[in-house]
Amino acid sequence: MTEGFSFESDPPQDLIDSVVGIGAGSWLDTLRRGRSVLRDNAQQSAALLLHPERDEGFSRTERLAVASFVAGLHGEQDIYRLYLNLLERSGDGDALPAAIRQFVRDGRTRGPYGAYPQGTLSTEDLNGLVFDVSAAEIGTRLSAALKHAHLLVYHPRDASAGALEALQETGWSETAIVTLSQLVSFLTFQVRIIHGLTVLRHAGPAVGQGLPESTS
């Protein structure tokens, strides 16, 4: 189901519906359309961040590579496969998707790790995997982006000016860095929505049945 998704389809497809398998007229479709503003904003955000009309120094291929990597780190397999599929269809061959798969295997851990500013929360400091993405296969620019994405996913406490400077040193503009951070944040939100809706799909009424009538 995820293999057929495209941001350019006519009529337009909703990415979350495609990943979760929400059919038109189903009870989950009715549920989502009851929160139409949230549904539409989620889809518009996905399109703006992953399929923009202008790349603003952050190409679509780079965005899909980051999206695949982050989704893989979160372990949500359906959205991970969707983004990998879009990356494979982007026209850059098989080398980049294969590299992303390996980086996900090597980079997945638990977290969150990092250190708080010295004080009462210091008792919760936790050391963990600091992932260094090899630039040999994907270049210094994208490797820096994936390393930063890993930092935001697993080491949010360790975000610093130095981490941003490392991106700038590999050619990332301030605008592109902001977009990169927005993309990682959005993907975290998207993964949680997809996970929740998937749980509901498995727990809810069978296909062809509606929601139970309220007894109140």
Tens of pLDDT, residues 156-204: 888 889 999 999 999 999 999 999 999 999 999 999 999 999 999 888 6
Distances from the Cα of 95 to the Cαs of 37, 65, 102, in angstroms?
Answer: 38, 11, 11
Residue 117 pLDDT: 75
The number of angstroms, rounded, from the C-alpha of 151 to the middle of its chain's C-alpha atoms is: 14
Q: Which residues pair with 126 in a beta bridge?
A: 114
The pair of structure tokens assigned to 111 is 């977290």
83 Cβ neighbours under 8 A, 6+ residues apart: 64, 67, 68, 71
pLDDT tops 60 at residue 208:
no
Residue 117 exposure: Cα atoms within 13 Å on the Cβ side: 1
For domain 2-111+127-203, which architecture applies?
Up-down Bundle (1.20)
User: Residue 206 — pLDDT band, cuts 50, 70, 90?
Assistant: low
Average pLDDT of span 15-29: 93
Residue 186: which of 9, 15, 5, 6 has the closest Cα? Answer: 15
User: Residue 102 — pLDDT band, cuts 50, 70, 90?
Assistant: very high
User: Residue 215 — pLDDT band, cuts 50, 70, 90?
Assistant: very low
Average pLDDT of span 36-43: 95
Locate the domains of the chain by residue range.
2-111+127-203
| Predicted structure pTM score | 0.88
Residue 198 pLDDT: 93
- The answer to whether residues 32 and 22 touch, using CB atoms and an 8 Å cutoff, is yes
pLDDT tops 90 at residue 97:
yes
| pLDDT, mean over the chain | 88
pLDDT tops 90 at residue 138:
yes
